[in-house]
Structure 1
Amino acid sequence: MTRNGHGEKLSYYQLGRTAIFACQADQRFSYCCYIPEGYEENGTRRYPLAVLIHGSTRTVDSLRDQFIDFAEANQCVVLVPLFPCGIGEPGDTHNYKRILYRGIRYDLLVLAMIEEIGELYRLDAEKVLMHGFSGGGQFVHRFFYLHPERLLAVSIGAPGVVTLPDPDKPWWLGTGHLKSIFGRDLDLSEMRKVAVQMVIGGDDIETWDVTVAPSSSNWMEGINETGVTRVDRLRSLERAFLSLDIPVRFDVVPGVEHIGHLVHPPVKEFFASALARRQNL
């Protein structure tokens, strides 16, 4: 980096804790990154990519900063998309969690962001690490159904509502009619190649923000049948994965309620293990 804070090719705003940039594929959405200090603009090393999906509060800069230690220890670039509230409907907080909302494909937006930063930085991003907590946990397991070939590892953190890999249940209760909605079916052989973690706090047992009422925009008949608490629902998802021979690492963090950063330590360890296994192949 030169004395004025800029690199030779990249600006100050594109290094370290980057600014928040509009996604060129759709400028209603944006992202920020963390680029490790060891990144050399003129080097040859390619960097793995971790994609972190925010929850309903959209605190993307603090989420990014909470993984700086991981990024430095593993020389990994971090990407955090921002999907603002109220897109298409004032006050709405749920849209991105469903992947498809009023014609917007949030999964394809994430892939577009990966491609966009891949033009700036030397990334090894054909297969990425992905974690989401709460609303982000909803997003990432649905992304997993649609794009397992793009994932090295997926960490599903405490989703309030889960989609079971069940073709007899309609989307987003299950994966029924996936082909007609998204243009692709479940690829179980690819899903079995992805390292899967489910992670939750042991005291994440509140029900007031988990039970879906008929008045909610998330309501579907049967939406509450996977369990009363987030722990129950994540266990239901685990059983469904195991029934399809998709291995799952299930981490419960004792004494932790629904607080995302307190479950990050096992997520970082899981991601580091996935990167180490890839290097050893």
Structure 2
Amino acid sequence: MREVPRESSARHFFTGATTAIACQMDQRFSYRLYIPERREGDPERYPLMVVQHGTARTATRYRDAFVGFAEEQRVVVLAPYFPAGIIDPDDLHNFKYIEYRGIRFDLVLLAMVDEVARRVPIDTRRFLLHGFSGGGQFAHRFLYAHPDRLRAVSIGAPGRVTLIDDTTEWWLGTKDFVSIFGKDLDVPEMRNVRIQLVVGDQDVEGWEINNPHDSNWRPGLEKQGATRIERLRTLRRNLAEHGIDTRFDLVAGAGHQGVKVIGHVADFFRSVLKEPAGGDGPTRHEVHR
């Protein structure tokens, strides 16, 4: 019988769509990858795209939805998985606000990126990040915390947004940003990140986001608007007031359905990957599709 190298099975499971992999920094959390099989002409280090799930935690579904994009653009996809019920068994929202009961989900994600880089040749300096709904909440707050790590961010239909506002506490505003993150909010660096805001033009149901008796409500949230469209426009205006340009995609025929905006997210990231890393920011415009 031919001897099989000990590492062969591990290599097999680290190509294509991987199984769930425990984060070595904190094994309560895990991630899935899509890794294109290396071929002639590939970059020395693949660009990295992180796809953050929402409240329903459909990490595998989102990872799989970007497989075609990963093969076409030769990028590695990382889909983190942050379970509900960490510490509080009834909690659904932990990761969305970056910091939760001593857990820094931004640092867990960065640890995952470093772990992947030890196995797969990826460019970890600046990566792409997309999240929809709860993932969109995480994505824009991660932008605030680590703009220097992002080449581009796609913020999909967040039900609650954090505004740059030094009079209102986190997570509605950024008054206590330094005490949470140990550094100042770096608005000039945020201007270097390509930003997409994306939401369906039928995303108007408010039952999940206008819920003052739930744990994820803060007084003042109602001022952001009654729908996810209105709240995303509020975020856009706030960023513009600080000189941060965005692309706004209003997707025709889409409700609160992450799969229906994926094509627009892919188009945005294609445009980013055509540019040299660290290029000029986007021109402010609105797209209706």
TM range (shorter): over 0.9
Q: Which residue is equivalent to 1:75?
A: 74
Q: Which residue is equivalent to 1:17?
A: 17
Q: Which residue is equivalent to 1:193?
A: 192
Q: Which residue is equivalent to 2:239?
A: 241
Q: Which residue is equivalent to 1:153?
A: 152
Q: 1:195-226: per-residue Cα shift (whole Å, max 9, x none)?
A: 0000000000001111131x211122212210
Q: CA RMSD in A?
A: 1.9
Q: Which residue is equivalent to 2:251?
A: 253
Q: Which residue is equivalent to 1:167?
A: 166
> Any conservation in 1 of the 2:29–2:81 contact (CA below 8 Å)?
yes
Query: How far apart in 1 are the matches of 2:277 and 2:100?
Result: 38
Q: Which residue is equivalent to 1:36?
A: 36
Query: How far apart in 2 are the matches of 1:39 and 1:171?
Result: 45
Query: How far apart in 1 are the matches of 2:33 and 2:43?
Result: 20
Q: 1:162-219: per-residue Cα shift (whole Å, max 9, x none)?
A: 1111111110011111001110111011000000000000000001111131x21112
Letter in 1 for 2:92: T
Query: How far apart in 2 are the matches of 1:136 and 1:280?
Result: 24
**Could you list the runs of 5+ residues in structure 2 that have no partner in the other structure?**
280-289
Query: How far apart in 2 are the matches of 1:280 and 1:104?
Result: 30
Cα distance, 1:229–1:44 mapped onto 2, change above 3 Å: closer
> Any conservation in 1 of the 2:151–2:278 contact (CA below 8 Å)?
no
Q: 1:220-245: per-residue Cα shift (whole Å, max 9, x none)?
A: 22122100000000000000011111
Question: Residue 151 of structure 1: CA displacement?
Answer: 0.1
Query: How far apart in 1 are the matches of 2:171 and 2:39?
Result: 40
Letter in 1 for 2:72: A
Q: Which residue is equivalent to 2:230?
A: 232
Query: How far apart in 2 are the matches of 1:118 and 1:97?
Result: 25
> Any conservation in 2 of the 1:53–1:131 contact (CA below 8 Å)?
yes
> Any conservation in 2 of the 1:55–1:134 contact (CA below 8 Å)?
yes
> Any conservation in 1 of the 2:172–2:218 contact (CA below 8 Å)?
yes
* Runs of at least 4 residues off by over 6 Å: none
Q: Which residue is equivalent to 1:270?
A: 268
Q: Which residue is equivalent to 2:218?
A: 220
2:152 aligns to what SS in structure 1?
strand
Question: Residue 15 of structure 1: CA displacement?
Answer: 1.1
> Any conservation in 2 of the 1:114–1:125 contact (CA below 8 Å)?
yes
Question: Residue 266 of structure 1: CA displacement?
Answer: 1.0
Cα distance, 1:44–1:64 mapped onto 2, change above 3 Å: closer
Between 1:11-20 and 1:227-236, the stretch displaced more is 11-20
2:224 aligns to what SS in structure 1?
coil
Cα distance, 1:232–1:217 mapped onto 2, change above 3 Å: same
> Any conservation in 1 of the 2:151–2:277 contact (CA below 8 Å)?
no
1:26 aligns to what SS in structure 2?
coil
TM-score between both structures, scaled by the size of structure 2? 0.91
Q: Percent identity?
A: 49
Q: Which residue is equivalent to 2:26?
A: 26
